[in-house]
């Protein structure tokens, strides 16, 4: 079955608080703290053979941050997971040298690439980085290396009109998209109807989500953990996967 997620068997590991973007909505890069679960801690757990005492064993792990590619320990952590037959989703914004990606190629299954905006000016404004062209180069580089890519686009009230532009990138590159939005945002009923149109597009998943302050805000944290969202999203995924299976 062709599916982005298997929500009944996935875990999340935050490997770093560090990030080289400066997103407007993010609190992580403003804080000067060391998280209790960082890559040193994870490496120690691995070395002491206690990793699965802390993290439940899952079929899939989402590797998040900050941005996980900012962690020098990432290849070591990924290698451990792969040795344990775990599928690996890496959640990154993609603004890194190609070598950083190459170090993960042996282990990674999917790259969820955060797109702050498909508009160059807004990309800069939202992320504090002039990186839209580098984002596109990264997507091309990963595709040339036959990697699975899912464009991760958090929808809010000020970027909803850009959904067709994001979809254009997904369509042109023949990749997947994950659109997620917080239902508590002030979306008008027309906006909600508009978002729902994307429910019916084959290679797009639309999730309801709530980001968490302690994680990269582009990660749809509570879609994966909140039971209500979890089960709703599971049925969306199942439906979408079946449709892909029988229509591709």
**Site for ligand SF4, rule CB under 6 A:** 19, 21-23, 26, 28-29, 65-67, 93, 114, 216-218
Backbone angles phi, psi at 241, to 5 degrees: -65, -40
Number of other CB atoms surrounding residue 31 within 10 Å: 12
Nearer to ligand SF4, 5 or 135 (CB): 135
We find the least distance from the C-beta atom of residue 234 to ligand SF4, in angstroms, to be 25
Q: How many Å apart are CA 24 and CA 21, to the nearest integer?
A: 9
Nearer to ligand SF4, 203 or 223 (CB): 223
Q: How many Å apart are CA 40 and CA 63, to the nearest integer?
A: 15
> Is residue 56 within 8 Å of 33, Cβ to Cβ?
no
Number of other CB atoms surrounding residue 240 within 10 Å: 21
Nearer to ligand SF4, 218 or 240 (CB): 218
Query: Which segments of 38-109 are extended strands (E)?
Result: 60-64, 87-92
Nearer to ligand SF4, 25 or 106 (CB): 25
CA torsion sign for 92, 94, 98, 99 is negative
Nearer to ligand SF4, 45 or 113 (CB): 113
């Amino acid at each position: 079955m062709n599916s982005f997620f298997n929500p009944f068997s996935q875990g999340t590991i935050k490997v770093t608080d560090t990030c080289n973007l400066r997103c407007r909505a993010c609190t992580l890069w403003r804080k000067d703290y060391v998280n209790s679960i960082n890559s040193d801690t994870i490496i120690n757990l691995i070395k002491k053979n206690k990793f699965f005492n802390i993290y439940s064993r899952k079929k899939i792990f989402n590797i998040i941050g900050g941005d996980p590619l900012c962690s020098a320990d990432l290849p070591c952590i990924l290698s451990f997971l792969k040795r344990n037959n775990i599928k690996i989703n890496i959640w990154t914004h993609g603004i890194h040298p190609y070598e950083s990606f190459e170090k993960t190629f042996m282990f990674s299954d999917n790259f969820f690439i955060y797109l702050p905006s498909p508009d160059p000016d807004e990309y800069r404004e939202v992320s504090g980085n002039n990186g839209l062209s580098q984002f596109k180069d990264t997507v091309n580089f990963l595709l040339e290396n036959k990697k699975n890519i899912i464009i991760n686009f958090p929808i809010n009230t000020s970027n909803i009109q850009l959904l067709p532009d994001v979809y254009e990138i997904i369509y042109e590159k023949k990749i997947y998209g994950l659109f997620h939005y917080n239902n508590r945002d002030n979306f008008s009923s027309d906006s909600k109807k508009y978002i729902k149109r994307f429910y019916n597009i084959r290679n797009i998943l639309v999730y309801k989500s709530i980001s968490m302050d302690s994680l990269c805000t582009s990660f749809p944290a509570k879609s994966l953990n909140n039971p209500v969202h979890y089960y709703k999203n599971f049925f969306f995924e199942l439906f979408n996967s079946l449709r892909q299976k029988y229509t591709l």
